[in-house]
Structure 1
Amino acid sequence: MQINTLSEFLTRAGTKFCLYDLGRRLQPLKNTDFEEIEAGRRPYPWPLQRHAWLAVSYWSKPGQPPYIWFLKLPLDERGLLNPAAVKHFLSALVEQLGQDLGAPLTDAQQQQLAQTPFTFQPPQDKLAAFHARLSLDLGLPPSAYLAPAQAYLEAPGLDNWQALGLQGLADLVARLPSDEALCRQLADRLFDLPLPVQNVLLSQCEHHTIPSPLARTLLDAINPELERQQPDEERIALLLRATAGCTPFAARRDKLSSLLAMAPGQTLMLTIAARLWQELTDEALLFAFLDILARQHGDLFNGLFAELVSTPALRPLILANLHNPALSDELRAAIGNLLTLTR
């Protein structure tokens, strides 16, 4: 039985399926877009370490709990999917299932497939965000931990937050994009909550497109941190990351520009490259970032430059400016050294 793509396999198995990227953060991937990617007609939009990190959810009957695979598929230097790797995984899958493509995998079969180089286990916070989003998208009930999280936000107390479940907080944050009242409530109370609860909520926000008023509240919370004698870069990075699901907007671009002017440390540089790369489609901001990277964080330059140039939205802009005479001497030297290493 010759099956060449994951979409073909899932369709021939008689299943419905949906896809999410789990690389830098949780992002839905349209089935039609993935078919284009599988056909080699477009690059994978969110590469990380030259791989596509996919959550594949499929089911046969409406309301049925879905089966889930977490697949790590290699990409070439242009960001195109490696078809040989997909075929390798599918061959192993068909070998396990035999002729019945719609048969559920046993635990032993799942374990055997997990031994291939094409599966991975997401970290717990990302896994919680994924399950929260998947339940919403499929119309399935949330976890039993949502109600206690909602009750806690209604009447916060410093003595009972330890009983909150990560999944409940993830379920709560997943509802922010469609619940304006919940957004206002969170914006009003977030910074009065115990710091561990704040941190979990902020880390969950990055996986969703939070409404603009809440995003601006989070950006404004960076200002008092900057006024401290020793600003906490981890805290600033967490606040920035919480807005990562938002499309580029002027207030965040201005904030990044001001932070770059303050000689940020590695934590912020990594955060901008990994979570806020969308804002680097602004040419001035991109080359300000790369210039600081070359001048002050040379040990990070090769790795971050490679990640950025592999991102389809940034690749043409970077390649078109590799020999731009307006680049600083330090940046031109760093790029030259990298090109020498890759030849």
Structure 2
Amino acid sequence: MDPIQSLLDLIHQTGARCRLFDMGRRVSKVSAEVFGRVEQGQIAYPQPYLHHAWVGLLMWHPKEPQRNAVWFLKLPLDEQGFLIQAVRDDLLQRLLQNISGLLDGGPDALKDNPFSFKPDAEKMAIFHAHAKVVLGLPASQHYEYAQHYFAGQLGFDQWPNLGLQGIADIVVRLEQGNNEALLIGALAQLPDAPLQALCCALEHVEPSHRLMQALQPRLDQCLKQHGGDQGMLAALVRALSNSTSDTFRQAWLSRILASERALETEVLVAIATRCCESLKDPALLQAFLERLAAGDTGQNGFSRVMADLMFMPALRRPIMQAFRNPERSETLSAAIGAMFGSNFSSH
């Protein structure tokens, strides 16, 4: 047996096949090659969230399905976003001590492991939906109900029976059958609660331009209101955050940031945590920073959001440039000064 030097080595030696998912800001696939390089300390973890790598591992044995296993690991990163090697070594030691559970696919492989975590119900539903696709299994028993519901066959008031898993299954299988068309046809008539749940599921996939266009009237309606929509605008931000159409996404975000509703904590947090890719755009970033500095989150919220965003390698430099923009407002200057101390240089 070769010496085990990484998590992927260990999994490989159990004979399992493995698929990795990032479970931080949203559920998305991570290639084994990228994760291997992260493990070796060659690159920073590409999607850090709250200074950790949140990873879901789906392991399966095609001929022995009873040995299939799922691990969720929360791994601390250093100041540059690299995996702390001592942590990785500690994790490996702990897993090797539980090797019997590991080889049997038993649940005790992660017993008492300080690096394991349990995703929230929404992410768990999306992960399970992906796992069924990867393993070539049919969707859950909730899938058919969700299809009938979005087709309008049950009455849109029947949403209390619509489980998160059914929504997750339909979203992960958006391109199968007529699932996308069902959703497009239903959007205008959906009550707020199922629409919100659907929007929060859509952030984990890449909704098409057509689907986003169908959501547009609901966004227009939201922007005309002055709050009180119980998180609907924040959910719409999440729905568009991973959309395939950059121009559409940027246009939506510009409109949201131009409205007074962009001062609301929930809306600011949704943009900060879900729209990191869009915030690379200097004009959008500047508008976002101005809203965050003036918004309901206060100075504490500003500092916490910025600490998380500046931890992302792709955003650190654009943020520092925006901080030094001579056109920035007094409010933003004061927030930056309070975060870094008044001697922060604007040159």
TM-score, length of structure 1 as denominator length:
0.89
- Alignment-mate amino acid for residue 7 of structure 1: L
Partner of 1:26: 27
Structure 1 residue matching 2:240: 3-state secondary structure: coil
Is the CA contact 1:78–1:310 (under 8 Å) kept in the aligned structure 2? Answer: yes
| Superposed counterparts of 1:1-343, under 5 Å | 3-61=4-62, 64=65, 66-97=68-99, 103-107=103-107, 109-110=108-109, 113-154=110-151, 155-158=153-156, 160-176=158-174, 178-179=175-176, 181-228=178-225, 230=227, 232=229, 234-247=231-244, 249-263=246-260, 264=262, 265-296=264-295, 297-340=298-341
2: CA distance between counterparts of 1:279 and 1:256? 8
Of structures 1 and 2, the one scoring higher in RCO (CA 8 A, sep 6+) is 1
Is the CA contact 1:114–1:120 (under 8 Å) kept in the aligned structure 2? Answer: no
Change (3 A) 1:146 1:189: same
1: CA distance between counterparts of 2:32 and 2:147? 33
- Alignment-mate amino acid for residue 103 of structure 1: L
Is the CA contact 1:70–1:119 (under 8 Å) kept in the aligned structure 2? Answer: yes
* C-alpha distance after superposition, 1:61-91 (max 9, x if no partner): 2683631000000011111111111111111
1: CA distance between counterparts of 2:283 and 2:293? 15
Change (3 A) 1:339 1:80: same
2: CA distance between counterparts of 1:14 and 1:27? 24
Change (3 A) 1:63 1:163: farther
Structure 2 residue matching 1:57: 3-state secondary structure: strand
2: CA distance between counterparts of 1:201 and 1:274? 18
Structure 2 residue matching 1:253: 3-state secondary structure: helix
* C-alpha distance after superposition, 1:201-243 (max 9, x if no partner): 2221111111211022224421022223556371111112112
Is the CA contact 2:285–2:322 (under 8 Å) kept in the aligned structure 1? Answer: no
Is the CA contact 2:208–2:245 (under 8 Å) kept in the aligned structure 1? Answer: no
- Alignment-mate amino acid for residue 275 of structure 2: L
Is the CA contact 1:21–1:28 (under 8 Å) kept in the aligned structure 2? Answer: yes
Structure 2 residue matching 1:69: 3-state secondary structure: strand
Is the CA contact 1:26–1:126 (under 8 Å) kept in the aligned structure 2? Answer: yes
Is the CA contact 2:69–2:106 (under 8 Å) kept in the aligned structure 1? Answer: no
Task: Report the alpha carbon displacement of residue 185 of structure 1 after superposing the two structures with TM.
Answer: 1.9
Change (3 A) 1:185 1:159: closer
Change (3 A) 1:63 1:166: farther
Moved more, 202-211 or 158-167: 158-167
Task: Report the alpha carbon displacement of residue 320 of structure 1 after superposing the two structures with TM.
Answer: 4.5
How many residues are treated as equivalent by the alignment? 336
Change (3 A) 1:336 1:124: same
2: CA distance between counterparts of 1:290 and 1:153? 38
* C-alpha distance after superposition, 1:77-126 (max 9, x if no partner): 1111111111111111101116xx9612434x24xx34222010011111
1: CA distance between counterparts of 2:322 and 2:259? 25
- Alignment-mate amino acid for residue 309 of structure 2: L
TM-score, length of structure 2 as denominator length:
0.88
Moved more, 189-198 or 82-91: 189-198
Is the CA contact 1:14–1:102 (under 8 Å) kept in the aligned structure 2? Answer: no
